[in-house]
């Protein structure tokens, strides 16, 4: 069981690896006996929550706010809610963060556009580049990367396993999961910690040590 619910909010280009990492996370949580987990990925949501919405800025925003609403309902009832939609606009993601509060964990799934185009799992980039799909994020519509996400995953340089392990570590450090055996290499652990400090979610280790000395 997690200590509390939360919302893991993946954001990144189509093909960056959001759903793949989300699936890996669900598996890893199951191993830790965390079974109250729901994934709201782009396809699930477009079918069940947002049928009829298009890809205009306004429709995309509505879609994202709606996913945020459902994540909030789930998370406040102890569920690990995982959103895996592109969510290209920074201000919209920030609105969801504000709405959800403390339980919001933004994970930037970063892969260079060239890599996503090369992967092209759904064949969408090919169509977008031929202008058969309008307003395609990264091609004909903007993607605004987060400035201070809780975690950055560079899926072109690390395995899904490493990405998932980093996610579990973030959940430990934010007191959502109990601490497990250390699984990351020291430098990776440092980097995860540093990113949470940059996101304003943790005190730096120097500060923490200082505080302990003082007490």
So which residues are the catalytic ones? 87
Question: How far is residue 153 from each of residues 12, 56, 96, 111, 112, measured CA to CA in Å?
Answer: 10, 27, 21, 8, 12
Among 26, 32, 55, 62, binds a copy of itself (CB under 8 A): 62
Q: How far is the CB of 160 from a copy of itself (least distance, A)?
A: 25
Q: Measured from the CB atom, is 69 or 199 closer to a copy of itself?
A: 69
By CB under 8 A, residue 33 contacts a copy of itself: no
Burial-class residue 6 by CB neighbours within 10 Å (0-12, 13-18, 19+): buried
Q: How far is the CB of 167 from a copy of itself (least distance, A)?
A: 20
Among 33, 52, 130, 213, binds a copy of itself (CB under 8 A): 52
Segment contacting a copy of itself by CB under 8 A, of 59-67, 120-128, 142-150, 205-213: 59-67
Q: How far is the CB of 23 from a copy of itself (least distance, A)?
A: 17
Distance CA 118, CA 169 (A): 30
Q: How far is the CB of 74 from a copy of itself (least distance, A)?
A: 6
Distance CA 196, CA 193 (A): 5
Distance CA 137, CA 12 (A): 9
Is residue 26 within 8 Å of residue 41, measured between CB atoms? no
By CB under 8 A, residue 101 contacts a copy of itself: no
Q: Measured from the CB atom, is 81 or 202 closer to a copy of itself?
A: 81
**Window 120 to 159, contacts with a copy of itself (CB under 8 A):** none
By CB under 8 A, residue 79 contacts a copy of itself: yes
Strand partners, 8: 82, 105
By CB under 8 A, residue 73 contacts a copy of itself: yes
By CB under 8 A, residue 38 contacts a copy of itself: yes
By CB under 8 A, residue 66 contacts a copy of itself: yes
Q: Measured from the CB atom, is 38 or 94 closer to a copy of itself?
A: 38
Burial annotation 83-118 (CB, 10 A radius, 16+ → b, else e): bbbbbbbeebbeebbeebeebbbbbbbbbebebbbe
No. of helices (H) and no. of strands (E), the chain: 9, 5
By CB under 8 A, residue 95 contacts a copy of itself: no
Helix (H) or strand (E) holding 59: helix 57-75
Residues that bind a copy of itself (CB under 8 A): 36, 38, 48-49, 51-52, 62, 65-66, 69-70, 73-74, 77-79
């Amino acid at each position: 069981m997690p200590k509390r619910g939360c919302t893991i909010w993946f954001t990144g280009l189509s093909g960056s690896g959001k759903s793949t990492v989300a699936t890996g996370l669900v598996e890893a949580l199951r191993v830790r006996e965390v079974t109250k987990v729901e994934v709201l990925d782009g396809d699930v949501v477009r079918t069940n929550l947002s049928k009829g919405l298009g890809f205009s800025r306004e429709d995309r925003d509505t879609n994202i706010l709606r996913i945020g609403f459902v994540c909030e309902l789930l998370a406040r009832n102890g569920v690990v809610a995982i959103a895996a939609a592109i969510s290209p606009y920074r201000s919209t993601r920030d609105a969801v963060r504000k709405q959800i509060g403390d339980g919001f964990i933004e994970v930037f799934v970063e892969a260079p556009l060239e890599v996503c185009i090369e992967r092209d799992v759904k064949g969408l980039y090919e169509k977008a580049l031929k202008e058969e799909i309008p307003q395609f994020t990264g091609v004909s519509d903007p993607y605004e990367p987060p400035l201070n996400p809780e975690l950055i995953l560079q899926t072109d340089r690390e395995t899904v396993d490493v990405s998932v392990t980093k996610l579990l570590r973030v959940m430990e450090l934010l007191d959502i999961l109990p601490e497990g055996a250390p699984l990351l290499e020291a430098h990776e652990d440092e980097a995860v910690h540093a990113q949470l400090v940059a996101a304003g979610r943790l005190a730096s280790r120097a500060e923490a040590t200082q505080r302990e000395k003082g007490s």
